[in-house]
Amino acid sequence: MKKNILIIGTGFVSYSFLKNLKKSNFYNIFLSIDDRKKLIKFKNSSQINRFLGNFGTSNYWHSVSPTNGPKGYFNFFKNFYNINNVNSNMNLENSEMLFVPRKNFSLERAFNINVNSLNYKIINSRANQISKKKNKFEILFNDSSKIEVDNIFIGTNILDLQSIIFKNLNIPDYVVYDHIQTHLGFVKRDQILNNKLIKPILSREGYYIGYESFNDKILMLRPFHSNIKTFGLKKFQNFGKSKIEIIKEIILSLSFSKLIHAFSTRYGLFFRSKYYSVFLQERIKLKDISIERKLSNEDIMKKLSGFKSLRSNQLTSLTGYSVFGNHQIGESKMSPPKGVIIANIKSKGWLKGVHHTLLNCFDAYNNNFET
What's the start-to-end Cα distance of the chain, in Å? 11
User: Which residues, listed in sequence order, are joined to residue 266 by a DSSP beta bridge?
Assistant: none
User: Which residues, listed in sequence order, are joined to residue 183 by a DSSP beta bridge?
Assistant: 279, 321
Between CA 140 and CA 293 the distance in angstroms is 41
Q: Given this model, what pLDDT does residue 116 score? A: 72
Helices (H), the chain: 12-21, 73-81, 107-111, 243-253, 256-267, 297-304, 357-366
Contacts of 353 (CB under 8 A, 6+ apart): 179, 213, 214, 215, 216, 217, 218, 281, 282, 283
Q: Given this model, what pLDDT does residue 291 score? A: 63
Listed residue (327, 239, 320) closest to 283, CA to CA? 327
Arithmetic mean of pLDDT, 125-131: 97
What architecture is the 3-66+99-174+331-366 domain classified under in CATH? 3-Layer(bba) Sandwich (3.50)
Residues 168, 131 contacting (CB under 8 angstroms): yes
Q: Given this model, what pLDDT does residue 120 score? A: 87
| Main-chain dihedrals φ then ψ at residue 129, nearest 5 degrees | -145, 140
Between CA 130 and CA 147 the distance in angstroms is 10
Residues 337, 171 contacting (CB under 8 angstroms): yes
Task: Compute the residue count for the chain.
Answer: 371
Between CA 86 and CA 58 the distance in angstroms is 26
Q: Given this model, what pLDDT does residue 34 score? A: 93
Q: Given this model, what pLDDT does residue 217 score? A: 97
Between CA 83 and CA 75 the distance in angstroms is 9
User: Which residues, listed in sequence order, are joined to residue 331 by a DSSP beta bridge?
Assistant: 175, 346
Q: Report which residue type is found at 69.
A: G
Question: Is residue 135 pLDDT above 80, yes or no?
Answer: yes
Handedness of CA 224, 230, 233, 235 (dihedral sign): negative
Question: Parallel, antiparallel, or unpaired: how do β-strands 345-347 and 65-66 relate?
Answer: unpaired
Question: Mean pLDDT score of the chain, rounded to an integer?
Answer: 88
User: Which residues, listed in sequence order, are joined to residue 149 by a DSSP beta bridge?
Assistant: 137
Arithmetic mean of pLDDT, 88-110: 84
Question: Is residue 324 pLDDT above 90, yes or no?
Answer: no
Question: Is residue 304 pLDDT above 70, yes or no?
Answer: yes
Contacts of 164 (CB under 8 A, 6+ apart): 8, 127, 128, 129, 130, 154, 156
The CA angle 256-259-260, to the nearest 5 degrees, is 90
DSSP conformation letters of 193-229: --GGGT--EE-SSEEEEE-EEETTEEEEEEEE-S-GG
Task: Give CA separation, 95 vs 12, 74, 142, 145, in Å.
Answer: 24, 11, 46, 49
Arithmetic mean of pLDDT, 164-193: 94
What percentage of the chain reaches a pLDDT higher than 90? 60
- In which band, very low, low, confident or very high, does the pLDDT at 267 lie, cut at 50, 70 and 90? confident
Residue ranges per structural domain of the chain: 3-66+99-174+331-366, 176-324
- Chain centroid to Cα 248, Å, comes to 23
Arithmetic mean of pLDDT, 271-283: 93
- In which band, very low, low, confident or very high, does the pLDDT at 114 lie, cut at 50, 70 and 90? confident
